[in-house]
A and B are shown apart, each in its own frame.
Chain A
Amino acid sequence: MVSAIQEDNAYQPYNVDLRNKVSSNPQADITATGHCEYWITTIDFMEYQEESTLSSPDDTMLPEVYTDTVACIYNVDGRCKGMLTPKRLKILRKAFDRAKCSGLHDHVQPPPISFASDLAGLIARKDASASKHTNKKIKLFRMDTPLPHYRRLSKVGSGY
């Protein structure tokens, strides 16, 4: 796979399909444990650079690296599927526990296996949602027919 990239040209446009086959955060991957996990750990990151600030592909300048403490979310295969700030992890943990205590989990299918597995699912949904909103062509609606529900309810005189 790597050789194919090198032959074509490493600066080809971003290939999402190919990218999804490899780990998003290989530096954070762990040995597979067979179930979803989350680890709060210290990870090295490359500083994000906007394309406009990059010079030519021949530029040999190395990216800036920084270290941060994050919560890594792992799939069953040990691959890091996403990261959260520890603060957000705490918020999610509280929300999860509160929902469980209030019985919200009882009606969810399939039933939650663990907090970690639903975290992994949450990351996956967010990816899919971001992709949908990015790719979907925005349609503008005619504004001369607003509030069809309101007109309909006015006719029958019922509540909402």
Chain B
Amino acid sequence: MASPLDHDPNFHHYWSEHPRDKVFGANIKDFSSRFSGFSTCHPIYHENTMLLATRHAIYSAAVSTEETATFMLLPSWNKMTTTNPYASLCRKYPRICKFLGTTPLDQLQYAKVPFWNNIQIPLSKHSWELQIIAIWNT
């Protein structure tokens, strides 16, 4: 889930929400195919998108017959993560969802934005930690 403007070229495949991004090699319709094998999912920080991605990862792991592990990177807006919809969803499926750990605030670094349309505005200082949740069918 990225844009050609910000995807990591080290990954062979990436998904974009815009069909036209196919001209830059993007896959589209991110929830039209299962997550399979080992993958990382770092969705945009939009509550509904993060919820859908988490649900899709759980679904993929549940129905797949092959080994599937999706490592979700999800922000923890505050220490009490119980209010996050995706955290609530993970708690409902403890056999599939395993909380691996948290990248602390002071060790979390985002890459610089490689594009801009007006003025180079740096990302604002983040105030959250990043949770790593493995969603797998082991």
Contacts and interface: CB of A to CB of B under 8 A. Distances in A.
Interface stretch (A3-11, A29-37, A87-95): A87-95
A93 to B, nearest CB: 10
B92 A146 contact: yes
Interface residues of A, number: 50
Nearest to B51: A141
Given A94-B9, A122-B24, A146-B55, A45 B119 contact: yes
A115 to B, nearest CB: 9
Contacts, number: 117
Contacts of A104: 22-23, 25
Contact of B116 (A83, A87, A91, A92): A83
A96 interface: yes
Contacts of A118: 20, 23-24
Nearest to B3: A126
A136 B78 CA distance: 22
Given A104-B22, A118-B24, A122-B5, A127 B59 contact: no
Nearest to A90: B9
Interface residues of B, number: 38
B23 A99 contact: yes
B25 A95 contact: yes
Contact of B120 (A45, A102, A136): A45
Interface string A89-122: 0011011101110101101100010000010011
B48 interface: yes
A159 B63 contact: yes
A157 to B, nearest CB: 11
Contact of B114 (A85, A100, A121): A85
Given A95-B25, A146-B89, A122 B119 contact: no
B59 A150 contact: yes
Interface string A45-60: 1101010000000000
Nearest to B119: A48
A155 B84 CA distance: 29
Nearest to A84: B115
B59 A149 contact: yes
B129 interface: no
Given A129-B17, A143-B85, A143-B88, A25 B23 contact: no
Interface of B: 3-5, 9, 17-18, 20-25, 34, 44, 46-48, 51, 55, 58-60, 62-63, 85, 88-89, 92, 114-122, 124
16 contacts: A24-B117, A48-B122, A81-B117, A92-B5, A95-B4, A99-B25, A105-B23, A108-B20, A112-B23, A123-B5, A126-B5, A127-B117, A140-B47, A141-B51, A143-B88, A147-B59
